[in-house]
Amino acid sequence: MTTLALISDLHSNLEALDVVLRRIEALGVDEIACLGDVVGYGTDPLPVTRLVMQRCRWTIKGNHDWGLFHGLDDFNPLAREALVYNRRLLQPSWLRPRRRAAWEFLRDLPERMQAYGFLFCHGSPRDPVMEYVLKSDGFLEPDKMQQLFGLIDRPCFVGHTHWPGVHRADFRFVQATDEQREFKLDGPCIVNVGSVGQPRDGDPRASFAVVDGDRVEIHRVPYDFRRTQAKILAAGLHPALAERLARGK
C-alpha cells in the first residue's frame, strides 16, 4: 500500500517547506501531493513552487494560486498585498524567461483530484477552490455540512482553513492535537491536513498529514519562523504577516 504525504497552504514559506520535506523523507513516505495555496503571504514563491514541482506527484489549485491570475477583490488587504508581491516575483518576462515553467505550472493546476480511493480538493467538495469548511460548521451550518457530505462517499482531504482535524459524518470537528493526531478513515469524512506555511490553530509548527491505508496521521514540525519573519519585514510586507507566524494565528 502506498503511503502518501499531504501538504497544503505552503504560502511561499521556504523555511517551513524545507523542514517538512526533510521530515517526510525521514519518515520514508512513498509519495507527496499538494492541496494548493503554494503561493501567497510569504516571500519565496519561486523556490517554493519549484520544490513542489520537483517533489510532489501532483498538486491542485488553491485560492491564492487562482488569485495570481485573476482579480483580487475577494481577498483581504494583507492577502492582496502579498499576492501582488508574489506576482512580481513569479511573472515571466523576456529578461526572466526561466520563471515561465513555474508560472505555467501554477496557472494550469487542476481544481480537484481523485486518487488512491480518496477525493482531494483545496476548499470543499462543493467548491474545490474557494469554499471554507470551518471547524464551527457542524453546529453553525448543519445544512451546509449536509450538502457537503451528500457529495462524497469516501474520505475527502482539504486544506484552506489552516486548521488540522477531521469532520466526521455527524458533522463534528475533531481537532488534531499532540494527544490525538491519528484518525481512522472509516467512510465519508472531511480531513483537513493543516498548513505548512501559516498555521492558524494556535500552534506555530508546520502541519502536514500522512495517509497509510485506512489511517491518517497529522504531523507537526517546528521551523525557523524568525527567518521567515525577517524576510517578510525586509520585503516591506505588512508586519502582521510576520507576527502571526510566531503565534500560529
Task: Give per-residue pLDDT as tens, 175-197.
Answer: 999 999 999 998 999 999 999 99
As a whole-number percent, the residues of the chain with pLDDT over 70 amount to: 100
pLDDT of 119 over the 80 cut:
yes
pLDDT number for residue 93: 83
pLDDT number for residue 69: 97
Residue spans of alpha helices (H) in 9-155 = 14-27, 45-55, 63-67, 77-90, 100-107, 137-140, 142-149
Task: Domains for the chain: give ranges and CATH numbers.
Answer: 3-247 (3.60.21.10)
Instruction: Indicate the average pLDDT of the chain.
Output: 96
Average pLDDT over residues 4-11: 98
Rg (CA), the chain: 17
Alpha carbon of 57 to those of 15, 54, 114, 146: distances in Å? Answer: 21, 8, 13, 32
- Condensed to tens digits (0 to 9), the pLDDT of residues 217-242 reads 999 999 999 999 999 999 999 999 99
Residues 6+ apart with CB under 8 A from 233: 239, 242
pLDDT number for residue 6: 98
Q: How far is Cα 44 from Cα 38, in angstroms, rounded to an integer? A: 10
pLDDT of 1 over the 80 cut:
no
pTM across the whole model:
0.96
pLDDT-derived band at 96, boundaries 50, 70, 90: confident
Residues 6+ apart with CB under 8 A from 179: none
Q: Between 1 and 60, whose confidence is greater?
A: 60
